[in-house]
Amino acid sequence: MKFSKRILPVGITVGLIGLIILTFLTISSSQLKIIYKSVLFGDVINFLNFTLGLLFIFFGINRPVKTFLISIFGGLVFRLAIMLVLVVVSLKFLEINEISFIFSLLFFYIFYAIIEIIYLNFSKK
């Protein structure tokens, strides 16, 4: 049980530190600014997705099973729809490197999904 209490703060801290480092690199770099900006936008979109996921988890965690599943899967559909809109808008209107952006989206999505799954696995039933 102690592990489930520690994984969430560690995941949020690592995510915030990553955002701070990427923001600093984007501001200070002149040669690779577009690549750092692309990775930063990928991280921001996925951190928003992760935060919304945690809100849906906290909403459904101590509810009946049906409400919990509706919260988790309904939240997943809602989050994926928001991510789709944000990705399309980012690719269409922002000056970013598309390859770096897509790979950073994939990497950070997997990273935050692993944290969510570990938290759900080790949290109180």
Which residues form the domain of 8?
2-122
**Number of structural domains in the chain:** 1
**Radius of gyration of the chain measured on its C-alpha atoms:** 16
pLDDT of 88 reads 95
Longest dimension (CA), the chain: 53
CA distance 90 to 96: 8
- Asked if 45 contacts 22 with a C-beta cutoff of 8 angstroms, the reply is no
pLDDT digits (tens, 9 = 90+) for 46-105: 999 999 998 898 888 888 989 989 999 999 999 999 999 999 999 999 989 999 999 999
pLDDT of residue 125: 53
